[in-house]
Amino acid sequence: MQQRWLVTLQDLSAGGRQWDADVPQALLADESVGDVAPLRDLLADMHWQVRLQRAGALFRLIGSWQGVMRRQCCRCNAQFDWQMQGDTAWAFQLGERLSGTDDDASECEYLAAPGEINLIDILREDVWLSWQADVLCSAACKGLCQSCGADLNRETCHCRADESDHPFAALRNLRIE
């Protein structure tokens, strides 16, 4: 584990820290690194612009990330490169949550001092939080024909035309209760 991705909140300098970095695909995919489920299907290193700053007792980690992952289209089943991006917005505090804390602190993660953070896990968490189960290769994906399974992005089948020509086509729309 590269030291670069480990941060100790208690040691943060007054100016904070920032990263504008390529986060190695190999680290994000390595299940022996960190605790959060690894990102196995990345096609490249991810890019992360993020800054960590202290404001009173709060440590805020704010930024944005981009990456590309191999996914399967939920309409046509084709593999495609899924371009993903999202925001990073975390708040940490050292110690334990006090009872009666205000709403402002409710989104905050409490860490025991000195407050070790593994940025690889944070980035993975960001990706999983923005995860979409069903993704499309393109918004215009035509999917597969329900009848013959043809990939309608690549070919035109005759199922639909045949059905509408059929004298009993209208019966297909009737439901038997």
Positions touching Zn ion (CB under 5 A) are 73, 75-76, 137, 141, 145, 147-148, 150, 157, 159
- Count CB neighbours of 135 within 10 A: 15
Q: How far is the CB of 145 from Zn ion (least distance, A)?
A: 3
Amino acid, single-letter form, for residue 42? L
Q: How far is the CB of 136 from Zn ion (least distance, A)?
A: 6
Q: How far is the CB of 146 from Zn ion (least distance, A)?
A: 7
Burial (0-12, 13-18, 19+ Cβ within 10 Å), 105 = middle
Q: Toward Zn ion, which CB reaches closer, 10 or 164?
A: 164
Query: Residues with Cβ < 8 Å from 111, sequence gap 6 or more?
Result: 9, 92, 93, 94, 117
Q: How far is the CB of 138 from Zn ion (least distance, A)?
A: 6
Which two tokens mark 36? Answer: 């959060």
Burial (0-12, 13-18, 19+ Cβ within 10 Å), 39 = buried
Q: Toward Zn ion, which CB reaches closer, 114 or 149?
A: 149
Query: Residues with Cβ < 8 Å from 34, sequence gap 6 or more?
Result: 1, 118, 120, 121, 124
Q: Toward Zn ion, which CB reaches closer, 39 or 76?
A: 76
Q: Toward Zn ion, which CB reaches closer, 130 or 156?
A: 156
Enumerate helices (H) and strands (E) in the chain, giving the number of each: 3, 7
Q: Toward Zn ion, which CB reaches closer, 73 or 119?
A: 73
Query: What is the sign of the dihedral through the CA atoms of 76, 82, 85 and 89?
Result: positive
Q: How far is the CB of 76 from Zn ion (least distance, A)?
A: 3
